[in-house]
Structure 1
Amino acid sequence: MTGGGERGRAVLVERPGVHRLVPAGRPEPGPGEARVAVYAAGVCASDHEVYAGTRATGYVRYPVVPGHEWSGMVEAVGDGVDPALVGRKAVGEGFRACLVCDRCREGATSLCAGGYDETGFTRPGAFADTLLLPARLLHLLPDGADLRSAALLEPAAVVAAAVSAGGPRSGERIAVVGAGTLGLLAVQLLAAASPAELLVVDPRAERAGRALSMGATEARDPADTGGLHGRYDLVVEIAGAPTTAHDSCLLARRGGRVVLAGLPGPGARGLDPVLLTCGQLTVRTVFGAPSAAWARAVRAFAAGLLAPAALITHELPLEGFAEAVALVGGGDPEVGKVLLRP
């Protein structure tokens, strides 16, 4: 165990549009807790929402230190935690599940009925030099793991949950709708299932093209998919655009499976109940990632089935928080994953 006298820094969003880089202590972990020295933290669209003030009521509590995608090294642990964790590379879950409700007891920790509570939104996050969290949320990495790449394991865990919900089987025709960070991670995981075809749909040609280097067999613009309706055994929608959930169901064959993992905004087009019923489609939805999906993502990363480093395009210090948020929210297709490096 180490002391908490050293000083650090953190990005504090006091309210929408207002942030400061503030001094932050290195707190002593309490019972069951671990303190992590943050190596890298990913900036995503939800962090942009926190700063812009557009995140849904109840899903953020100001003032807050954002940052829910991170990697680092365990530097101290509290009572009741194995001291052998100190010095280990790790990532960690964001949801602070209650572990006692019916959903948690069945292993669906991302459906916890105890109320929403997540690192970087209602608890201090990883846009800081150090992060304090329950040690039970840690997932340890191999000693030789690349911590820069590992900062993307939070979105990879969401993708692992979506892929697991879809149940891909070798030889199937599979489509991924959306070629952002999540979509490209989904391509990597789905390619490992040996599909006969792996289509990626995205209007951004450069993004869709990158999927071809990650295991996709074809990339198309959404406007050019009409001839592919009813073709795919499994469709994983991970874009969250207004029409992508509806259009993904059109791509699925009769009796096919659709997983909706993109988070649409207000006004999104609904699903066609006639198509769902007559086509006997199975539709699953995913929000966040339970512990089991985290474990699958970490195993896939350790085995080399996930290579997130190729998605990183920008790395900035904590002082560059405002620039990082602007990059994420700017809509430039050349901007991939943006990291903050304490």
Structure 2
Amino acid sequence: MSPPGKAVVLDAPGTSRLVEHVPRRPGPGEAQVRVHAAGMCGRDRDLYLGRRPAPYARYPLTPGHEWSGTVTAVGEGAPASLIGRKVVGEGLWNCATCARCRAGETDLCTVGYEETGFTRPGAMAPTLTLPARLLHTLPPDADLTAAALLEPAARAAAAVLKAGPLPGARVAVIGAGALGLFTAQLLGAFSPSELTVVDTGPGRAALADRFGATAYRTWDRPSGLVDFDLVIDAVGAASTARAATSLLRPGGRLVLTGIPVHGAAGLDPARLVARQLSIGTALGAPSGAWSSAVRAFSAARLTPLELVTHQLGVDEFERAMALTAGGDPRVGRVLLRP
């Protein structure tokens, strides 16, 4: 169990401490949430290691952008009906009024970047206060431990919505991490004729099968990895975008997501044009993708709990970070419990 009332604070890259948590009362239009659990992912590791450029990180900071909880209080102008509701929340503090937000592209808000857990206090603390408009309510019987992973599920939903899959398509997903598995599970709703998950090793074949894959392949055994109608790259490594194009049929579609890195190798525009490949991208999740993921979760079409392998107190932040970065295939998602 975590010490009562404690929060994680990163004073600078590589420097963390546990502090007394002082809840912030919700201001106008805001809600206060009692945090149930906060997830950890590669973006948290990048924050911890100082790999995020200045506009996208602000120290000192309480991290935690994947979370679930229950609303305990609201400020003036926020719906009182939220109190007592189980919720998750969008990370990007969109303004809801600029042209991009009004067009539904809240992940492209032009007012400026602010995100829970990166520039705003995150959920590795007993409470979290944020704009009520960012909240998505869950059913009363929702499992909040599973719901803590709805942030990567929303990003997967954004990629699937961008892809626009058609029934009967041959589809491949690159990557068997949380993002790739959620992508596969959401793609299953579109009745693909084939749904192949491609990863670097065989360790997640059984898990991919449970998330709806009809086939599982590794790059060293590429038999059958050709002529897909749609490929979604849920890894974002330097080599995967190029590899993904080799899986597509002429006229096929590629969607790039994941945590992209600079300097993707070998994407030849001439080859893309000659084969008439179309490319879409998804980074983050607009409000519509969050709604889609929450609906799928509420209808038991998403099963995040299968990915959780460790639940630790916030006082074990350093251990959780080591587990997340360790590369052990037996380690899935790590949750911190305030």
Normalised TM-score (structure 1) = 0.95
- Gaps in structure 1 of 5+ consecutive residues: 1-6
Q: 2:44 — aligned with what?
A: 47
Q: 2:61 — aligned with what?
A: 64
User: Secondary structure of the equivalent of 2:220?
Assistant: helix
Residues in 1 aligned to 2:231 and 2:243: alpha-carbon distance in whole angstroms = 10
Q: 1:32 — aligned with what?
A: 29
Q: 2:252 — aligned with what?
A: 256
Q: 1:99 — aligned with what?
A: 96
Check the 8 A contact 1:70/1:151 in 2, yes or no. Answer: yes
Aligned length: 335
1:108-119 superposed matches below 5 A: 108-119=105-116
Q: 1:4 — aligned with what?
A: none
Give the 3 Å change call, closer, same or farther, for CA 222–209 of structure 1 in structure 2: farther
Deviation at 1:134, TM superposition (A): 0.3
Residues in 1 aligned to 2:68 and 2:266: alpha-carbon distance in whole angstroms = 37
- The letter of the residue matching 2:260 is P
- The letter of the residue matching 1:215 is G
User: Secondary structure of the equivalent of 2:56?
Assistant: coil
Q: Which has the higher contact order (CA 8 A, sep 6+)?
A: 2
User: Which deviates more, 28-37 or 259-268?
Assistant: 259-268
Q: C-alpha offsets along residues 299-340 of structure 1, whole Å, 9 cap, x if unaligned?
A: 000011101100111111000111111111111121111100
Check the 8 A contact 1:16/1:52 in 2, yes or no. Answer: yes
Residues in 1 aligned to 2:267 and 2:206: alpha-carbon distance in whole angstroms = 28
Residues in 2 aligned to 1:213 and 1:30: alpha-carbon distance in whole angstroms = 43
Structure 1 residue corresponding to 2:191, chosen from 191, 194, 197: 194
Residues in 1 aligned to 2:210 and 2:131: alpha-carbon distance in whole angstroms = 38
User: Secondary structure of the equivalent of 1:164?
Assistant: helix
- The letter of the residue matching 1:203 is T
Q: C-alpha offsets along residues 25-61 of structure 1, whole Å, 9 cap, x if unaligned?
A: 1222111000000001100111111111112331100
1:269 correspondence with 2:265: yes
User: Which deviates more, 325-334 or 264-273?
Assistant: 264-273
User: Which deviates more, 263-272 or 13-22?
Assistant: 263-272
Residues in 2 aligned to 1:299 and 1:315: alpha-carbon distance in whole angstroms = 25
1:107-146 superposed matches below 5 A: 107-146=104-143
User: Secondary structure of the equivalent of 2:139?
Assistant: coil
User: Which deviates more, 185-194 or 40-49?
Assistant: 185-194
Q: C-alpha offsets along residues 129-152 of structure 1, whole Å, 9 cap, x if unaligned?
A: 000000000000000000000001
Residues in 2 aligned to 1:302 and 1:200: alpha-carbon distance in whole angstroms = 25
Check the 8 A contact 1:199/1:218 in 2, yes or no. Answer: yes
Residues in 2 aligned to 1:156 and 1:89: alpha-carbon distance in whole angstroms = 17
- Gaps in structure 2 of 5+ consecutive residues: none
1:137-216 superposed matches below 5 A: 137-216=134-213
Deviation at 1:227, TM superposition (A): 4.8
Residues in 1 aligned to 2:94 and 2:295: alpha-carbon distance in whole angstroms = 22
Residues in 1 aligned to 2:323 and 2:64: alpha-carbon distance in whole angstroms = 16
Residues in 1 aligned to 2:244 and 2:127: alpha-carbon distance in whole angstroms = 41
1:318 correspondence with 2:321: no
1:70-89 superposed matches below 5 A: 70-89=67-86
Structure 2 residue corresponding to 1:243, chosen from 208, 224, 239: 239
Normalised TM-score (structure 2) = 0.96
User: Secondary structure of the equivalent of 1:283?
Assistant: strand
Residues in 2 aligned to 1:161 and 1:85: alpha-carbon distance in whole angstroms = 26
Residues in 2 aligned to 1:27 and 1:288: alpha-carbon distance in whole angstroms = 26
- The letter of the residue matching 1:332 is D
RMSD: 1.3
Residues in 2 aligned to 1:265 and 1:280: alpha-carbon distance in whole angstroms = 25
Percent identity (aligned): 56
Deviation at 1:96, TM superposition (A): 0.7
Which stretches of structure 1, 4 residues or longer, exceed 4 Å deviation after superposition?
Answer: none
Structure 2 residue corresponding to 1:288, chosen from 284, 288, 298: 284
- The letter of the residue matching 1:168 is P
User: Which deviates more, 265-274 or 88-97?
Assistant: 265-274
Structure 1 residue corresponding to 2:229, chosen from 233, 242, 245: 233
Deviation at 1:83, TM superposition (A): 1.1
Q: 1:13 — aligned with what?
A: 10
